[in-house]
Structure 1
Amino acid sequence: MSTKRSDAEPEAVDEDAVARELYGLSPDEFTAARDAYAARARKAGNRAVADRIGKLRRPVQAAWLANLLVREQRAEIEAFLELGAAMRQAQEHLQGPELRELSRRRHQVIDALQRQAQALAATRGHPAVADSTRRALQDTLAAALADPAAARALAAGTLAGALEPTGDFGPLATSTPPGATPARKSTSTKSTSTKSTSTPARASGKGRARHAKDDDTAGAREATRRAAERERHEARLTRARADLEAADTAAEEAREAARVLEQRADAARDRHREALADAEDLERRLAEARDTVGRLDRQARDARRAHEDADELARTEKSAANTARARLRDLERNRAGRGE
């Protein structure tokens, strides 16, 4: 947003817009920009807004990278957060092997986003990312996958610090503690029943058979339901993964296009430098030609003046010669008249 304003009429400060802009800046630009906005709000009479802006924390490097992803890779982040929602829902129904597969995919997606963040940082003059920063970014993305509140915080694009994961998508603990499985309870109950009279035992056995049949039917329905849910979740995960891969491919194509454009720009700059050098050479040669023309023009004027002087001298000499010839003719006539 523009920082220009009239001194006579201070511009009101939009606190939310200021926060979005500030957390889109690199950490080394944050503090100066924040203080400038706080001063503007204070000058506009918004002291409370100025105080809140002044208290905004400078983002750590990992938070800046996460904010950068939200701004520059919005489609990928939205697909990532949808994947997190699907994984949280799937966690409630899937068993250990399926959850381990989800965890593996989670790491793949986070690694892909981390590489994109490093590439974006490099284009902004930060090619080196510390290991601690990469780990903090991984934790932030993992937290957004596991926790809806963390997902909303990431999506806002105004993180000041890294997020801490509050859960994982690893195997869940079973509701029945190990060593106290239903089968063992059933065995214990059967043993106790055997100690009673034979008739109640047979009746109890028939009842258990009916309950077991009902339990089998219910278990089959539950297994079918879970299988259907797993298929739906798998389809959503597949779509999200495909979207992320497509976005990653598009980002790589965009980076390749940018490299091609940069190469063309370098070539154009080279041609421009060559053209400037040619122009400078032509200007130098033109200046030399102008000097030569000026010198030749001066020589031509000097030659014309010399020619005019020579013509004038020739006319003078010719007039003197004519005068001399006339006097000679007069002298010859006078001599002839005297009979000499």
Structure 2
Amino acid sequence: MDLESVADELYGLPPGEFVAARGRHVAAARTAQDPELARQIAALRKPTLAAWAGNLLVRSAPDQVDALQRLGEGLRAAQDRLAGDQLRELTRQRNALVAELAREARRLAAEAGQPVGDAVQHEVETTLHAVLADPDAAREWAAGHLAKPLTTRPGFPGTAATAPAPAPSRRPARKRHLKLVEDPAKARAEELTRARKEAKAAEREARDQDKALRRDESQRDRAESRLEEATARVADLTEQLRSAEKAESEAREALTHARRTLTATTRATRESRRAADRAAAKVTDLESEPDP
């Protein structure tokens, strides 16, 4: 038993079976006198539904995994060369493949008895975009051991399709239209100001939600850690109880055998003593008889 094989098994299980199976492996590692492996196994985190669906996709569709990794390499290479046409074509392929793979992950999850909703499917898509953007994320995903969805690192510009901005008109505006242009420009400026305010407010709201999410994730992680420790402790105590019960049974058998042996030995000793007494009495009788 090693960490890699245990991780392969655990992250292939439905999330509801993960904790119990991990506890069994922790107990087995401790029984095998390998505390370091037990610690490493106990540190494996239970996957979220989205992470589990991503792992399921890796295991069930290896050809699609290779295709997505190749597409990611192409996107990054095109971005490095600033090949606009190629980048747009690869981006189109990316969007189609990501959507297809996310739907496939959702279908596989349902077949495995764990239906997932739109939110989980969206998190799978986020993971796949991260796989395309970051070779390290691609390798992490391809291992099939995700515990939570991957996210795209900031600064990768090739992960979203963008349309070229319209070229500015080179025809100068006629002077008689200057007054007419001023009002739309002012309205546009006001609209832009409102949009910026709304964007800032939305950003503040998003930051607040991010903080709340991190807080809730931290609370969940702590609760999972406590559950993991308790599960591992229960498994350890269960193993100790089994060992103690076995030792007790063996001791009872040994005591029963010793008692039987003692009884037999006592009986034999008594018989030997009576025989010795009879022999001694016979000697005495013979010695007391007069000579003929």
TM-score (norm 2): 0.52
Cα offset, 1:132, TM superposition: 2.1
Alignment pair present for 1:66 and 2:54: yes
Tell me which of 88, 107, 114 is aligned to 1:119: 107
Partner deviation per Cα, 1:194-229 (whole Å, 9 max, x = no partner): xxxxxxxxxxxxxxxxxxxxxxxxxxxxxxxxxxxx
Amino acid at match of 2:150: L
How far apart, CA to CA, are the structure 2 residues paired with 1:78 and 1:106?
A: 13
Match of 1:139 in 2: 126
- Alpha-carbon displacement from aligned partner over 1:99-128 (angstroms, at most 9, x marks no partner): 33332221111001011111111111123x
| 1:154 paired to 2:141 | yes
Answer yes or no: is the 8 Å Cα contact 1:100–1:171 preserved in 2.
no
Deviations 1:19-43 (A, max 9, x none): 1110111111111000100110011
Q: How has the CA–CA distance of structure 1 residues 170 and 160 changed in structure 2, closer, same or farther, with 3 Å as cutoff?
A: closer
User: Residue 79 of structure 1 aligns with which residue?
Assistant: 67
Residue type of the alignment partner of 1:157: G
Q: In the TM superposition, what whole-angstrom CA distance separates every residue of 1:240-261 from its partner, at most 9, and x where no partner exists?
A: xxxxxxxxxxxxxxxxxxxxxx
Q: Find the counterpart in structure 1 of residue 9 from structure 2.
A: 21
Greater gyration radius: 1
2 CA distance for matches of 1:97 and 1:75?
26
1:36 pairs, out of 14, 21, 24, with 24
Deviation at 1:95, TM superposition (A): 4.2
171 and 76 in structure 1: CA distance in 2 versus 1, 3 angstrom threshold: closer
Hey, what's the Cα distance between the residues in 1 that align with 2:161 and 2:71? Answer: 19
Contact 2:91 / 2:160 at 8 angstroms: preserved in 1? no
Q: 1:46 aligns with which of 30, 34, 40?
A: 34
Specify the SS of the correspondent of 2:46: coil
Q: Matched residues in 2 for 1:77 and 1:60: separation?
A: 20
Instruction: Tell me the distance in 2 between the aligned counterparts of 1:171 and 1:34.
Output: 39
Deviations, residues 297-324 of structure 1 (Å, cap 9, x unaligned): xxxxxxxxxxxxxxxxxxxxxxxxxxxx
Greater relative CO, 1 or 2 (CA 8 Å, sep 6+): 2
1:147/1:101 Cα in 2 relative to 1: closer, same or farther (>3 Å)? same
Q: TM-score, normalised by structure 1?
A: 0.45
Contact 2:88–2:161 at 8 Å: present in 1 too? Answer: no
- 2:94 maps to 1:103: no
**Whole-angstrom CA distance in 1 between matches of 2:161 and 2:123:** 25
Separation in structure 2 between the aligned mates of residue 72 and residue 160 of structure 1, nearest angstrom:
18
Partner Cα distance (1:60, 1:170) in 2: 24
Which amino acid letter does the alignment assign opposite residue 130 of structure 1? G
Unaligned runs of 5+ in 2: 163-292
CA distance 1:170–1:122, change in 2 (3 Å): closer
Contact 1:100-1:170 within 8 A present in 2 as well: no
Aligned pairs for 1:1-340 (under 5 A) are 13-127=1-115, 129-166=116-153, 167-169=156-158
CA–CA distance in structure 2, aligned partners of residues 30 and 135 of structure 1 = 23
Q: Which amino acid aligns with 1:122?
A: A
Separation in structure 2 between the aligned mates of residue 171 and residue 116 of structure 1, nearest angstrom: 21
Distance 1:76 1:126 in 2: 22
Rounded to whole Å, the distance in 1 between the matches of 2:157 and 2:90 is 10
Q: CA deviation at 1:135?
A: 1.6
Change (3 A) 1:171 1:159: closer
Cα 1:171–1:59 change in 2 (3 A) is closer
Instruction: Could you list the structure 1 runs, at least 4 aligned residues long, displaced by more than 6 angstroms after superposition.
Output: none
Aligned pair count?
A: 160
Q: CA 1:172–1:139 in 2, change beyond 3 Å: closer, same or farther? A: closer
Distance in 1 separating the partners of 2:134 and 2:159: 14
Q: Aligned equivalents of 1:42 and 1:158: distance in 2?
A: 23
